[in-house]
Amino acid sequence: MWETWNLPVWAAWLLPLAAGLAIAPLLMRLAVWLPWRMQCEWAWMAQDWLSEQAAQDTREENMPQACPGVTDDTEARQMPPLAAVPLPSRAVCRLLWLAAVALAGLCAWRFGLTWGGLAVLACCWVLLLLAVIDAREMLLPDSLTLPLLWAGLLFNLASAWVPLPQVVLGAVAGYLCLWLLFHGFRLATGREGMGHGDFKLLAALGAWVGLAALPQLILIAAVSGLAYGLWLVAVRRAGMRTAQPFGIHLAWAGVAVMLWMGAP
């Protein structure tokens, strides 16, 4: 899996960069479509629950009959195809183009053109997508974090990039450390300090980098998040209690640690 393909130097660089250019439009549309799908599913679930309650209650005139903008028509509950989803803003599109190509170049530099390097690059692209979604919507979809977790376990099982016991412990420790922090903060303050998606994302990253690299990853993410939060307060764009997405910092810390680890 880590054997370099026998290709000319120019091809070894051109192929990953072309892949980055090709994947960027897909990332742009997924950044809009995935949160949209989650919000529609939540609204449909709420409508179904209200309909069930209304059917069971004899005082139906006092029950709310529908959620605004939500239909009972099953046929109308269809998500538009991915190609029909509007693109995000120009700034986000440019960021995704640049970041997707930059990640492809960095992975080609650190891992060479190998199957293992392509797997790490795919992981980096998913982390980029998660960071954009979290920045825009403060959501980390399970449809991305959970497959990323299983992909990390299977990748290390096949490639031995990180020993399998390390990645299993990394996934467990990644989830538990944020879970304990979440509940400790809630007991101390009565408020929730982060979302459950952050637990799953750190578990997925632990499955990719292993237990030994997890402290560095958490440190990078924590310092980055603290610095960004203080900067927002300094420029008066946020208050001390304003919620900020932490998934962005976990994602870029994961990319940094994987690039630092390099090929075995």
- pLDDT for residue 67: 44
Length of the chain, in residues? 264
Q: Six-digit token pair at 98?
A: 């640049």
∠186-191-194 over CA atoms, to 5°?
80
CB 206 within 8 A of CB 173: yes
Between 157 and 82, whose confidence is greater? 157
**Residues near 192 by Cβ (< 8 Å), separated by ≥ 6?**
182, 185, 186
pLDDT in the model for residue 215: 95
Does the CA dihedral 100-105-108-111 come out positive or negative? negative
Whether 16 maps to a domain, the answer reads yes
In a domain? residue 229: yes
pLDDT band at 102 (very low <50, low <70, confident <90, very high): very high
3 inside domain: no
- Whether 75 is covered by a domain: the verdict is yes
Name every residue whose Cβ is closer than 8 Å to that of residue 35 and which is 6 or more positions away in sequence. 133, 136, 137, 139, 141
Q: Has residue 63 got a pLDDT over 60?
A: no
Dist CA 74 CA 52 (whole Å): 15
Query: What is the pLDDT of the chain when averaged over all its residues?
Result: 86
4 lies in a domain?
no
- Residue range of the domain that includes 250: 9-261
b/e per residue, 159-177, with b = 16+ CB within 10 A?
A: bebbeeebbbbbbebbbeb
Mean pLDDT of 159-183: 93
Q: Number of folded domains in the chain?
A: 1
In a domain, 172, yes or no: yes
Q: What is the DSSP letter of 262?
A: -
Phi and psi at residue 197, in whole multiples of 5°?
-60, -30
pTM of the model: 0.86
Residue 162: inside a domain, yes or no?
A: yes
pLDDT class of 60 with cuts at 50, 70, 90: very low
Q: Is residue 1 part of a domain?
A: no
